[in-house]
Amino acid sequence: MTTKLVGFACKWIDHAHQVDGISPKDDCKRYNTGTTTVAWLNRQTRGAAEDRLWTLLKGNIESVRLLVARVASLPPPLRMVRLSSDILPVYTHADWRYFYRQPDVIAYMERYFAVIGDCARAHGVRLSFHPGQFTVLGSENPNIVESSIEEFEYHVDMARWMGYGRQFGDFKINIHISGKRGPQGFRLAYNRLTPEARNTITVENEENTWGLDDCLSLMDICPTVLDVHHHYCKTGEYIESTDPRIQMVIDSWRGRRPVIHYSQSREEYLAGHPSDKLPNRDILIAGGTNKQKLRAHSDFFHNVAMNQWMQQHWQWGDIMCESKAKNLASTLLYESWTTRRDSSSSVPSSVAPDCHSYDERESSCGVLDCSF
């Protein structure tokens, strides 16, 4: 029987106040990546800059290993996480990409990313990437398309080293259609991708331009990721699981379990709105709420009615929670669906400070030994 998953994106936090930032002394710092800037690197000697990149490369891969091992120690339905895009800083920058093409660097990445992939597969952890907003395959500008392909293939390289990209849909690297050329431009760029990239690419509906129907027009080449919040912001609709388009989304995954993105508007923009009522977009806008502000993600899943509506979609797809409180929010959502716990609380029992262990193979604080 397939396990229904609920996951979170990019960062692990232990306490709600860490939504506003993680301090260097916080224990959860070890699960989160570091970065640098091109400006800083350019001010250094070549040797000092390369030393910094080596330190970040090793530290970030270790952080990802620890994060995947931590997620692997959770109850099986919570074993899903989107990995950060900044694992290998300046990987595609013209002045610094050479660093990652050096044989010793490549050998290191191949060896240690493989451990992460093996750990994820051994413990049923579903991984993904989401390249940033500047990955615009449908752009009219050839230079932007070129850099977008390079950025996408950067994520593919990491997935490949982890052992993914060998079969259609064995990993999710998700982007928006984006760009004025839309689906047509997306198709042209798709034809230039590596086989592993074509096996892992997914496309998500946007809140402004290219919606669900546009994504489904590409279902012959890649899966559709339904973002229900984007769909709500664009159309005002709470799409039901019985909608014919849902079956099309399912079909686009060719037998793989789909992924759905779920988020809510920020708490302050729905202040005073009863949590047991679905927010009506048109009424909110007519009442003076800025439509663009409705797009911003909340810290927690504070609207109970929306969570109850969303649960129907968990039957056919895994839920990627896009919330500022990361694993705290996703765990609370899961608990609200399985134990009727309040999803607006800020202390989920599954990540409480007692480091409760869910697996006899776990080490201290519930981290599995997925060692290098």
1 domain-assigned: no
User: Is residue 11 a part of any domain in this protein?
Assistant: no
Q: Is residue 128 domain-resident?
A: yes
Domain count, the chain: 1
Q: What is the DSSP string of 88-144?
A: STTTT-TTTGGGGGSHHHHHHHHHHHHHHHHHHHHTT-EEEE---TT--TT-S-HHH
CATH number at 96 reads 3.20.20.150
Question: Cβ–Cβ contacts within 10 Å for residue 254, how many?
Answer: 10
Select from 28, 61, 118 the least CA-distant residue to 355.
Answer: 28
Rounded to an integer, the average pLDDT of 183-206 is 97
**Residues whose CB falls within 8 Å of the CB of residue 244, separated by 6 or more in sequence, listed in order:** none
Residue 15 lies in a domain: no
In this predicted structure, which of 147-151, 171-175, 188-192, 355-359 has the lowest mean pLDDT? 355-359
Alpha-carbon distance values, 298 to 82, 235, 301, 332 (Å):
18, 19, 7, 14
Q: What distance in Å separates the CA atoms of residue 94 and residue 313, rounded to the nearest whole number?
A: 43
pLDDT, position 273:
87
Q: Is the pLDDT of residue 357 over 50?
A: no
**Residue 228 included in any domain:** yes
Strand partners, 175: 203
What is the extent of the structural domain holding 104? 25-366
Q: State the pLDDT at residue 372.
A: 63
| β-strand partners of 205 | none
Give a yes or no: residue 172 inside a domain.
Answer: yes
Predicted confidence at residue 290, as pLDDT, reads 87
Overall residue count recorded for the chain in this entry: 372
> What are the tens digits of pLDDT across the range 58-86?
999 999 999 999 999 999 999 999 999 99
pLDDT tens for 250-295 read 999 999 999 999 999 999 888 888 999 999 999 999 988 888 889 8
Q: Does 339 fall in a domain? A: yes
- Strands 80-82 and 126-129, sheet pairing: parallel
Q: Which amino acid is at 289?
A: T
CB 186 within 8 A of CB 138: yes
How does pLDDT run across 125-182, given as a tens digit for each residue? 999 999 998 899 999 999 999 999 999 999 999 999 999 999 999 999 999 998 999 9
Do the beta carbons of residue 156 and residue 187 sit within 8 Å?
A: no
Do the domain assignments include residue 312? yes
